[in-house]
């Protein structure tokens, strides 16, 4: 292809995209339009801590307590925590172990191939403020050991929410002890998963009203291995009586084996809408099991890219992805999302580390601030552009809103940041002014640990303590004739407070 042809193609492409996304015209959104979806959980923004790393997160880091507390404060209820992951299925409970966990790793930053944990592991879990979900081992086929662990957890974790029996069984193979040399299939998993529930729960000596204690699944990226396959069998067998909730795991991208990740795709609003939509059959299944059989469906483990994250994961763009992805998932019907935190110091998608707070945490804080105390969410945009607009209701009153401009603005984008005007119409009568807090950073590629801390309402989180720092800056926009115009830059979001 000669350069003139290439130029002609690029020129026509640029015309097309300019026509699809009008950047300089006002876009109007009737804030009282659209279909409201319930916000089902009290705390939709939740955390998952990798099993072996959990004691380190709570014992060694100066940030964990306060980072969890910040989220709980804006939510109005404490942050749920799930403790699990790949290393849960490598772990053996040792009632004589005096430390919380014991393992060695092949090299710094690696995850252990095998580990032991003791009773004090559960004391640490019991000290967390929010509800705790604990994963025990199924892969190694040592059911008595998992029962012993679960019994101890019941004694020591007053805030226990549920147990998971195994992690991502989709990844089990014929050679895992649980498979007993049989080809591992969704049907085999379901029959073993149910059989384990039928042995584990009765062994715990729970009263009838406490027997719903298992989080079924948890599957990585359905539909192969899914709640769609498992749940009807739980109902048929009667083991549904032990089910507290269902969990899926979800990662839009992979960083495994050095796979390339893409930030522009990650933060793209249309791509986020499409990705979440693929989980609709899971939601429909969970909602359609019949009276007495409806259980919450959650993302029990999720984040931007598998295998701890990739180059995209510690960026401000991942914060923007996170807030939009959370709103979409809640709107679809997921009760909460546990964002996974991996090996300390070797997990680019983690929200905080030793003396660090990372950019994605700002997205979590934004999403929690938007939804805290609210009971429904409405998407006001059509999901077909790079621009997202949401409204949040409490007690039938329009209370908050959020705008996300997902247009990519990186440190290599030519030219200045573009700004888009959003005009909100049909504001509740008597509204004279709306206030807002802006979530921004120099670029979507900005990382706090590289000296470009994001700000939310002018404030940031201190690296050593996770405390909010700086003066809060609230912007005020005048309402005229029931409308207000808000300008949001490429790769920025704003949280709106309607009075
Ligand atoms: C956005 O709206 C403001 C106030 O209405 C106006 O001054 C500004 O020119 C608009 N910007 C764009 C890019 O249209
Ligand atoms: C597991 O515990 C049960 C009940 O105490 C016992 O009958 C069984 O032999 C144990 N299994 C193993 C493999 O230890
Ligand atoms: C599984 O198959 C291997 C090789 O065919 C055999 O050595 C092993 O004993 C089998 N294990 C079980 C649990 O049947
Ligand atoms: C955003 O994602 C949609 C859906 O995958 C795609 O059609 C569109 O081209 C993407 N936009 C950009 C700017 O990458
Ligand atoms: C852009 O930001 C990334 C960090 O996300 C950094 O690695 C890279 O060096 C920056 N590039 C430029 C041109 O500043």
Please give the tally of structural domains in the chain: 1
Ligand nearest to the CA of 202: 2
Rounded Cα distance, 252 and 171, in Å: 17
Please report the pLDDT score of residue 258 as a whole number: 86
Asked if residue 436 belongs to a domain, the reply is no
Asked if residue 496 belongs to a domain, the reply is no
> Are 90 and 137 in contact, with CB atoms under 8 Å apart?
yes
Q: Which two tokens stand for residue 470?
A: 């700086």
Asked if residue 232 belongs to a domain, the reply is yes
The residue nearest atom 10 of ligand 3, judged by CA position, is 181
Taking each helix axis from N to C end, the angle separating 143-156 and 119-126, rounded to the nearest 10 degrees, works out to: 40
Asked if residue 446 belongs to a domain, the reply is no
Please report the pLDDT score of residue 25 as a whole number: 59
Please report the pLDDT score of residue 16 as a whole number: 36
In 3D, which of 206, 69, 215, 207 has the Cα closest to residue 133?
Answer: 215
Query: What is the full DSSP assignment across 93-151?
Result: E-TT-SSSEE---SSTTPPPSSEEE-HHHHHHHHTSSS-EEEEE--TT--HHHHHHHHH
Residues with CB under 6 A from ligand 5: 315, 411-412, 445, 447, 450
Tell me which of 14, 23, 271 to substitute to probe ligand 4's pocket, judged by most ligand atoms within 8 Å of the beta carbon.
271
Q: For residue 188, what is the domain's CATH number?
A: 3.20.20.80
Exposed / middle / buried, residue 485 (Cβ in 10 Å: 0-12, 13-18, 19+) = middle
Tell me which of 313, 442, 445 to substitute to probe ligand 5's pocket, judged by most ligand atoms within 8 Å of the beta carbon.
445
Q: Is 345 left (phi over 0), alpha (psi -120 to 50) or beta?
A: left
Tell me which of 411, 448, 454 to substitute to probe ligand 5's pocket, judged by most ligand atoms within 8 Å of the beta carbon.
411
Calculate how far, in angstroms, residue 350's C-alpha sits from the geometric centre of ligand 5. 19
Q: How far is CA 340 from the centre of its chain?
A: 7
Calculate how far, in angstroms, residue 390's C-alpha sits from the geometric centre of ligand 4. 20
In 3D, which of 494, 492, 474, 317 has the Cα closest to residue 417?
Answer: 492
Asked if residue 249 belongs to a domain, the reply is yes
Please report the pLDDT score of residue 381 as a whole number: 97
Identify the three-state secondary structure at position 89.
helix
Calculate how far, in angstroms, residue 144's C-alpha sits from the geometric centre of ligand 2. 6
Taking each helix axis from N to C end, the angle separating 186-203 and 227-237, rounded to the nearest 10 degrees, works out to: 50
Strand order in the sheet with 484-489: 27-30, 419-425, 484-489
Ligand nearest to the CA of 413: 5
Q: What angle do CA 405, 299, 183 make, to 5 degrees?
A: 130
> Are 78 and 130 in contact, with CB atoms under 8 Å apart?
yes
**Any residues with CB less than 8 A from the CB of 210 and at least 6 apart, and which?**
none
> Are 402 and 327 in contact, with CB atoms under 8 Å apart?
yes
20 Cβ below 6 A of ligand 4? no
Atom of ligand 3 at shortest distance to CA of 181?
Answer: 1
Asked if residue 103 belongs to a domain, the reply is yes
385 Cβ below 6 A of ligand 4? no
For 353, the enclosing helix (H) or strand (E) is strand 352-353
The residue nearest atom 10 of ligand 1, judged by CA position, is 421
Please report the pLDDT score of residue 6 as a whole number: 35
**pLDDT < 70 stretches in the chain:** 1-26
The residue nearest atom 4 of ligand 1, judged by CA position, is 485
Asked if residue 457 belongs to a domain, the reply is no
Rounded Cα distance, 461 and 334, in Å: 28
In 3D, which of 368, 383, 313, 317 has the Cα closest to residue 342?
Answer: 313
Task: Return the number of other C-beta atoms located less than 10 Å from residue 36's C-beta.
Answer: 15
The strand pair at 352-353 and 356-357 is best described as: antiparallel
Rounded Cα distance, 225 and 168, in Å: 9
Identify the three-state secondary structure at position 33.
coil
Residue range(s) defining the domain that contains residue 310: 41-374
For 476, the enclosing helix (H) or strand (E) is strand 475-478
> Are 245 and 216 in contact, with CB atoms under 8 Å apart?
yes
Please report the pLDDT score of residue 1 as a whole number: 33
**Beta partners for residue 106, in sequence order:** none
Calculate how far, in angstroms, residue 414's C-alpha sits from the geometric centre of ligand 5. 14
In 3D, which of 240, 54, 235, 89 has the Cα closest to residue 168?
Answer: 89
Atom of ligand 4 at shortest distance to CA of 17?
Answer: 13
Residues with CB under 6 A from ligand 1: 24, 419, 421, 485, 487
């Amino acid at each position: 292809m000669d350069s003139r042809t290439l130029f002609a193609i690029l020129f026509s492409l640029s015309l097309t995209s300019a026509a699809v996304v009008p950047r300089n015209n006002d876009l109007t959104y009737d804030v009282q339009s659209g279909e409201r979806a319930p916000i089902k959980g009290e705390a939709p923004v939740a955390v998952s801590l990798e099993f072996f790393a959990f004691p380190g997160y709570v014992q060694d880091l100066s940030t964990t307590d306060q980072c969890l507390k910040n989220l709980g404060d804006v939510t109005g209820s404490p942050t749920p925590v799930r403790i699990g992951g790949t290393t849960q299925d490598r772990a053996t409970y040792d009632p004589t172990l005096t430390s919380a966990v014991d393992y060695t790793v092949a090299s710094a930053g690696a995850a252990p191939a095998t580990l032991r944990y003791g009773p004090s592991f559960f004391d640490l879990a019991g000290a967390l403020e929010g509800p705790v979900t604990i994963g025990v081992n199924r892969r190694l086929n040592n059911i008595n050991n998992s029962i012993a662990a679960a019994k101890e957890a019941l004694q020591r974790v007053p805030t226990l929410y549920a147990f998971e029996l195994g992690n991502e069984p989709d990844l089990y193979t014929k050679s895992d002890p649980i498979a007993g040399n049989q080809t591992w299939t969704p049907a085999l998993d379901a029959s073993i998963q149910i059989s384990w529930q039928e042995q584990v729960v009765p062994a715990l000596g729970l009263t009838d009203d406490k027997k719903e204690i298992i989080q079924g699944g948890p599957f990585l990226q359905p539909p192969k291995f899914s709640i769609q396959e498992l749940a009807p069998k739980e109902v048929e067998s009667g083991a549904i009586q032990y089910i507290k909730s269902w969990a899926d795991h979800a990662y839009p991208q992979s960083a495994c084996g050095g796979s390339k990740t893409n930030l522009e795709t990650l933060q793209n609003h249309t791509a986020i809408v499409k990705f979440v939509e693929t989980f609709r059959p899971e939601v429909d299944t969970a909602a359609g099991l019949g009276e007495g059989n409806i259980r919450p469906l959650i993302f029990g483990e999720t984040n931007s890219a598998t295998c701890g994250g990739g180059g995209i994961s510690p960026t401000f763009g991942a914060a923007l992805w996170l807030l939009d992805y959370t709103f979409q998932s809640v709107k679809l019907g997921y009760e909460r999302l546990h964002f996974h935190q991996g090996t300390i110091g070797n997990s680019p998608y983690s929200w905080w580390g030793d003396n660090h707070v990372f950019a994605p945490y700002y997205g979590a804080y934004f999403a929690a601030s938007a939804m805290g105390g609210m009971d429904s969410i409405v998407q006001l945009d059509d999901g077909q552009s790079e621009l997202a607009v949401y409204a949040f209701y409490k007690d039938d009153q329009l209370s908050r809103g959020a705008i996300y401009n997902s247009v990519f603005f990186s440190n290599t984008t030519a030219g200045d940041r573009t700004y888009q005007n959003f005009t909100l119409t049909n504001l509740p009568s008597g509204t004279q002014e709306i206030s807002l807090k802006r979530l921004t950073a120099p670029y979507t590629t900005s990382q706090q640990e590289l000296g470009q801390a994001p700000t939310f309402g002018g404030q940031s989180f201190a690296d050593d303590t996770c405390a909010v720092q700086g003066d809060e800056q609230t912007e005020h926009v005048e309402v005229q004739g029931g409308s207000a115009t808000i300008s949001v830059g490429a790769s920025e979001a704003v949280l709106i407070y309607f009075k």
